[in-house]
Structure 1
Amino acid sequence: METDTAEQRLESRRIQPTAMRLRVLNYLSERKAAVSLADLEQHFSNSDRTTLYRTLKTFQEHGVVHQIYDESGSTKYGLCAENCTCSYPDDMHAHFYCTSCENTFCFQNLSIPNINLPDAFQPSYGNFVITGRCPDC
């Protein structure tokens, strides 16, 4: 992602485009799979863990990334579509977790099936993960 485009994307979400935020956004946009905090720490080995965590949390709060809970035991973060509002169920989509390479992929064009919960339940988030082997494995 070009720096101007990355800056515009952050500014459109009311996020101050600091150097680290731009670097993290560019890293996320280059990945085919979702990333964990540990992945970011490994890639940005000279960066502070707290800064990376706060960057992810800021991105999540402003709809730049979404959390994915898969069988890896680590929370992963996937880049949201630019028009995402992170609203349930409109922007919820399926994910695929590969048990071989342990990558998690977002399928933004595959919506979570409509689930009719009893009236007393008020959902705010959904996580739909299919587990198996990816084509590369």
Structure 2
Amino acid sequence: MKYSEYKKLLKDHTLRITDCRINVLEKFYNTTHALSFKNLEDALSDYDRVTLYRTLSSFIEKGLLHRIPSDDGYASYGLCREDCTEGGHHHDHVHFKCNVCGHIECLPAYHVPKVELPGYEVNEQNLIVSGVCKICRKSFNGE
């Protein structure tokens, strides 16, 4: 994606155009897996923690990123699909966490079935499958 496309994306989501926001978007669009706050902090060390947290929060609120919870307490973040908006996210897909490299991938081709729980109000559901990713499997198998 080009710089002008990042600017348009921010403008389309009614977000101010800043260097930090452009750089964060660039990180997400140039990787194949979800990123943790620590990943961003390490890669974008010119920005302080508060600025990065606010950027992530704004992107989630505006439908650019979605939060992927983790059992270790540290969330990761992935790019939203086009049908996500400021009004709501639509992430009914599986996430895969590699036990070797730790990367988390969104797998939009695999949908999480809707769970109906009588007497309960479900606000969110997530499915994280763990194992060994394709890249790590290849390196183990010597391919």
Note the 1:13-28 alignment, pairs <5 A.
13-28=13-28
SS at 2:54 equivalent: helix
User: How many residue pairs get matched?
Assistant: 135
**Aligned twin of 1:94:** 94
Asked whether the 8 Å contact 1:93–1:128 carries over to 2, the reply is: yes
**Aligned twin of 1:51:** 51
SS at 1:56 equivalent: helix
Kindly provide the amino acid, as one letter, of the partner of residue 35 in structure 2: V
Establish whether residue 30 from structure 1 lines up as the match of residue 41 from structure 2: no
**Aligned twin of 2:135:** 136
| Identity value in percent | 33
**Aligned twin of 1:116:** 116
Q: Report Cα offsets for 1:15-64 as digits up to 9, x if no partner.
A: 11211101100111111110011101100112111101110000011110
Instruction: Provide closer, same or farther for how the CA distance between residues 83 and 4 of structure 1 changes in structure 2, counting only shifts above 3 A.
Output: farther
Asked whether the 8 Å contact 2:34–2:77 carries over to 1, the reply is: yes
CA RMSD, 1 decimal:
1.7
Gaps of 5+ in 1: none
After TM superposition, the score normalised by the length of structure 2 is 0.86
Instruction: Provide closer, same or farther for how the CA distance between residues 73 and 101 of structure 1 changes in structure 2, counting only shifts above 3 A.
Output: farther
After TM superposition, the score normalised by the length of structure 1 is 0.89
1:81 is displaced (CA, Å) by 1.6
C-alpha distance in structure 2 between counterparts of 1:124 and 1:7, whole Å:
32
Greater Rg, structure 1 or structure 2? Answer: 2
1:73 is displaced (CA, Å) by 3.5
Q: Relative contact order (C-alpha < 8 Å, sep 6+): which is higher?
A: 1
C-alpha distance in structure 1 between counterparts of 2:134 and 2:72, whole Å:
18
1:71 is displaced (CA, Å) by 3.9
Moved beyond 6 Å, runs of 4+ = none
C-alpha distance in structure 2 between counterparts of 1:91 and 1:71, whole Å:
18
